[in-house]
């Protein structure tokens, strides 16, 4: 069976995920998380990816990134594979691959889904039962986005900046967006689009993407983000 074709476009954010082989751990100590973040920053800077949100779980990672070129995200993961896998193999005297095949990913319409995707990513530890609130989990971008903690990996997206006229206002609005109940429709769309690689957005967004790639796309319906999505009022979403 042929592999599903993935595609990314310059300036269009993408939700990407990579899981450990056979769902086995890819992080074994605090130093491993720190090394992955070091490798992530180096690869993002080298291959032209702006990282807006991330979470590092024991056996998988989620990233929200905007690439500079169509190849940037693929090159990002290739760079991570070379450096982080080598580090793990050397540190733990192991051999072979670490990740479960290729990463999964899909592009998203930033005006409708970017803030929801950020919260989807950062609430992963809550959905997994690791913590009660994302602020309690160290290995995600929540502290930077919600409290302004310094984080060299991250770049703020325009949709996040649009939450308020000052950093304090933006952070407060972002914190408040995590209080709302989960939206099952958005949960389903985010999960389906990531698994299938389908671009997530309205009909106009999909038409623009189809024109850019030169073919019809889409395995799931576009969905209609609710008004509060635009304001950033979505939340804890089901884990993958």
Q: pLDDT per residue over 116-146, tens digit each?
A: 999 999 999 999 999 999 999 999 999 999 9
Average pLDDT over residues 59-69: 98
Q: How far apart are CA 213 and CA 77, in angstroms?
A: 22
**Which CATH topology does 14-231 take?**
Alpha-Beta Plaits (3.30.70)
Q: Where are the domains of the chain?
A: 14-231
CB 144 within 8 A of CB 150: yes
CB count within 10 Å of CB 180 equals 14
Average pLDDT over residues 217-237: 42
Q: pLDDT (tens digit, 9 = 90+) per residue, 7-56?
A: 899 999 999 999 999 999 999 999 999 999 999 999 999 999 999 999 99
Q: Is the pLDDT of residue 198 over 90?
A: no
3-state secondary structure of 16: strand
Report pLDDT for 185. 82
To the nearest whole number, what is the mean pLDDT of the chain? 87
CB 27 within 8 A of CB 130: no
Give the phi and the psi of residue 150 in degrees, each rounded to 5. -65, 135
Q: Is the pLDDT of residue 240 over 60?
A: no
pTM (2 d.p.): 0.87
Average pLDDT over residues 191-201: 89
60-67 and 14-19 beta bridge pairing: antiparallel
Question: Which ranges in 139-183 belong to alpha helices (H)?
Answer: 142-147, 158-161, 167-177
Q: How far apart are CA 229 and CA 227, in angstroms?
A: 5
């Amino acid at each position: 069976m042929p592999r599903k074709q993935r595609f990314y476009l310059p300036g269009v954010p993408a939700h990407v995920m990579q899981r450990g082989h056979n769902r086995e751990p890819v992080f074994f100590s605090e130093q491993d998380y720190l090394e992955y973040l070091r490798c992530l920053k180096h690869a993002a800077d080298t291959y032209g990816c702006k990282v807006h949100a991330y979470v590092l779980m024991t056996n998988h990672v989620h990233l929200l990134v905007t690439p500079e070129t169509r190849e940037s995200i693929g090159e990002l993961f290739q760079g991570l594979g070379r450096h982080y896998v080598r580090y793990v193999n050397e540190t733990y005297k192991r051999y072979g691959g670490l990740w479960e095949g290729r990463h999964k990913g899909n592009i998203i319409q930033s005006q409708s889904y970017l803030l929801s995707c950020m919260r989807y990513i950062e609430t992963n530890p809550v959905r997994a039962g690791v913590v009660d609130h994302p602020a309690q989990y160290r290995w995600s971008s929540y502290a930077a986005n919600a409290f302004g903690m310094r984080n060299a990996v991250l770049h703020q997206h325009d949709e996040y900046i649009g939450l308020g006229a000052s950093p304090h206002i933006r952070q407060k609005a972002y914190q408040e967006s995590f209080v709302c109940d989960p939206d099952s429709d958005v949960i389903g769309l985010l999960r389906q689009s990531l698994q299938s690689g389908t671009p997530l957005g309205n009909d106009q967004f999909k038409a623009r993407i189809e024109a850019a790639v030169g073919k019809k796309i889409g395995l799931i319906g576009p969905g209609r983000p609710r008004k509060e999505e635009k304001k950033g009022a979505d939340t804890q979403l089901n884990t993958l």
